[in-house]
């Protein structure tokens, strides 16, 4: 242990710790802009400069190691002046359209500028407005607002994609794509991790809010919303509620206040996905199908496989994602049942994921979804409608797609799809005494492995979250080091609860709270308290098979609930 003082506070930290880490233990706040825990630590923004004995001049707290007897001062006049000047220099090249910016009132640069009384025009305004790249179906990039923190670059590199990176040097440095092409023409997988890493409004999702408002007031449209499993555990953050607060009831109430709309529960088609996927896995085991079988719920992972691992496409489950299954069910079964012309039914999914926006444009999926709203966009609509979200009374989802199982809810956490599938597979192979919890696949680690005996069959499984972790699993399979039966992959680290469409979280929160773990726990608590724990117990799913699909993996199920994928070029 190393002993030091920070602003006169004595603290002991492990050898090798940085000043920033020591300050956290001492409950001393040091501002940062480029630093992001588990993503990047480069000390380039200079916001975390402090004075420390034994150092020449100011040092970056995020990278500078502590030493025995060191004394650190984080708020001297010299430090405060340096930080203020840094902010003012950043503002001199920043497009300051703060009132209309997507990050207004939730911008890390704006917050720091207020704290340090920065003059926005002290060094004038010396920048050329750069064109906005909005060709992607999911991600919009406005380089005129970029502060060169490179957190987006680090997040993309962590995903092993590299669709964006620094170009040129010095004052001419910009963040861009290879060959100056739009993100739409790169192997970007639309995961949106660059968006949640960005501290300002330089990156954001392509909004569908105006289209949805238009449909709500259109007298010829019947509007139906359905919400993804993880949204209930994150939406409250956009209204100041603690991380991990389950706001399902308030969310449903607020959606119904937007207009004459219905609100369904996407957990239903998460359960439907499990019925199709578990039966597909059992069929492959019994009939010698391609193994290991990979899950296909995550559109970011699907696009990654198409670009980088096309030889694995036959290993992917043919199931559509819960989003695409639900929209297909609504535009067929639901419309037929209620005498609705599918052209007049406007289907809106609420999702934690920017890749889902890309998914709705894919021709091979039938284009049944009319609009996909991120968690952030839904919060924006509530605020625009003047809804007092925190004080709303709770409501329930509309029937017939209201109640679902806890297995469907845990889809939002890494390992959740695997656990839900194992519950149903275990039941089909072992009967009613089969276990309901498979805790070995829970947790936010990048890779988790387990081996189970289900009805006399040995099933080896792996769970990977984050595409860097996915590459490691795939390499182990290709080399013959691992022999898995079933593999779950989610593009975003931690799964959907950390998706690219989730509420903006300031670095101070992200650096000090394990967001992935806290949000995931909310879903596991929901599952534990659910009346139904397994997908095969969902009465809505039973009705769908009885009245429409017949049985899992039937011909009609394959027509509407399954698909295929093909190789894509990297550029």
Q: Give the number of other CB atoms < 10 A from CB of residue 415.
A: 29
Gap between the terminal Cα atoms of the chain: 50
Asked if 400 and 543 touch (Cβ cutoff 8 Å), the reply is yes
Distance, CA of 11 to chain centre: 36
The residues that are catalytic are 277, 280, 297, 317, 356, 359, 364, 496
Give the position of tokens 């799913």.
541
* Helical spans, DSSP H, in 354-405: 355-359, 375-384
- Alpha carbons within 13 A on the beta-carbon side of 167: 13
Asked if 277 and 420 touch (Cβ cutoff 8 Å), the reply is no
Buried-state track 371-397, b at ≥16 Cβ within 10 A, e below 16: bbbbbbbbbbbbeeeebebeebeebeb
| Those residues with Cβ within 8 angstroms of residue 112's Cβ, 6 or more apart along the chain or in another chain | 31, 33, 47, 83, 87, 118
Q: Which long-range contacts (CB under 8 A, 24 or more apart) does 564-570 make?
A: 564/318, 564/364, 565/302, 565/305, 565/306, 565/313, 565/316, 565/364, 566/306, 566/310, 566/313, 567/306, 567/310, 567/313, 568/187, 568/303, 568/306, 568/307, 568/310, 569/307, 570/187, 570/307, 570/308
Q: Pairing between strand 71-73 and 2-6?
A: parallel
| Those residues with Cβ within 8 angstroms of residue 531's Cβ, 6 or more apart along the chain or in another chain | 403
Q: Quote helix, strand, coil % in the chain, to nearest 5.
A: 45, 15, 45
| Torsion angle (degrees, nearest 10) of CA 120, 126, 132, 138 | -50
* Helical spans, DSSP H, in 130-208: 151-158, 193-197
Q: Which of 106, 92, 82, 90 is nearest to 148 (CA)?
A: 90
| Cα separation, 251 vs 393, whole angstroms | 10
Residue 378 corresponds to which tokens in the numbers above? 């839904």
């Amino acid at each position: 242990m190393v002993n030091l003082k920070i602003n006169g506070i004595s603290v002991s930290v492990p050898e090798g710790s940085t000043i920033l880490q020591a300050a956290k233990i001492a409950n001393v706040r040091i501002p940062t802009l480029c630093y992001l825990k588990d993503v990047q630590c480069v000390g380039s923004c200079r916001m975390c400069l402090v004075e420390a004995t034994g150092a020449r001049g100011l040092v970056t707290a995020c990278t500078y190691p502590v030493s025995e007897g060191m004394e650190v001062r984080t708020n001297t006049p010299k430090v405060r002046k340096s930080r203020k000047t840094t902010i003012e220099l950043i503002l001199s090249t920043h497009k300051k359209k703060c009132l209309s910016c997507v990050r207004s009132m939730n911008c890390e640069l704006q917050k720091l500028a207020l704290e340090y009384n920065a003059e926005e025009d002290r060094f004038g305004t010396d920048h050329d407005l750069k064109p906005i790249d909005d060709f992607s179906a999911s991600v919009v990039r406005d380089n005129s607002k970029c502060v060169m923190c490179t957190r987006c670059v680090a997040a993309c590199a962590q995903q092993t994609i590299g669709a964006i990176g620094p170009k040129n040097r010095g004052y001419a440095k910009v963040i861009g794509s290879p060959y100056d092409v739009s993100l739409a023409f790169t192997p970007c997988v639309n995961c949106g991790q660059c968006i949640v890493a960005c501290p300002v409004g330089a990156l954001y999702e392509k909004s569908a809010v105006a289209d949805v408002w238009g449909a709500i007031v259109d007298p010829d449209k019947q509007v139906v919303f359905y919400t993804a499993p993880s949204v209930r555990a994150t939406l409250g953050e956009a209204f100041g509620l603690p991380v991990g607060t389950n706001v399902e009831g308030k969310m449903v109430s607020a959606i119904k206040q937007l207009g004459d709309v219905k609100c369904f529960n996407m957990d239903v088609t998460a359960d439907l996905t499990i019925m199709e996927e578990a039966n597909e896995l059992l069929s492959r085991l019994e009939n010698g199908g391609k193994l290991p079988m990979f899950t296909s719920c995550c559109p970011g992972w699907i696009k990654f496989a198409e670009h980088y691992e096309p030889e694995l496409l036959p290993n992917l489950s043919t199931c559509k994602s819960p989003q695409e299954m639900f929209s297909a069910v609504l535009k067929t079964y639901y419309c037929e049942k209620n005498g609705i012309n599918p052209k007049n039914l406007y289907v809106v999914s609420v999702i934690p994921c920017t890749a889902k926006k890309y998914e709705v444009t894919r021709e091979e999926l039938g284009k049944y979804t009319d609009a996909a709203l991120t968690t952030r966009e839904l919060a924006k609509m509530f605020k625009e409608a003047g809804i007092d979200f925190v004080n709303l009374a709770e409501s329930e989802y509309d029937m017939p797609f209201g109640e679902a199982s806890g297995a469907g809810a845990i889809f939002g956490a890494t390992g959740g799809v695997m656990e839900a599938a194992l519950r149903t597979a275990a039941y089909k192979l072992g009967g009613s005494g089969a276990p309901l919890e498979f805790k070995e696949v829970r947790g936010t680690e990048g890779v988790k492995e387990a081996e189970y005996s289900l009805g006399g069959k040995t099933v080896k499984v792996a769970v990977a979250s984050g595409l860097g972790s996915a590459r490691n699993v795939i390499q182990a399979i290709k080399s013959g080091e691992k022999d898995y039966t079933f593999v779950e992959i989610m593009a975003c680290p931690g799964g959907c609860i950390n998706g690219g469409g989730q509420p903006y979280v300031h670095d101070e929160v992200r650096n000090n709270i394990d967001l992935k773990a806290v949000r995931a726990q909310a879903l596991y608590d929901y599952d534990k308290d659910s009346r139904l724990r397994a997908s095969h117990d969902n009465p809505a799913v039973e009705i769908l098979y009885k009245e429409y699909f017949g049985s899992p993996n039937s011909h009609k199920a394959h027509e509407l609930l399954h698909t295929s994928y093909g190789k894509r070029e990297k550029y």
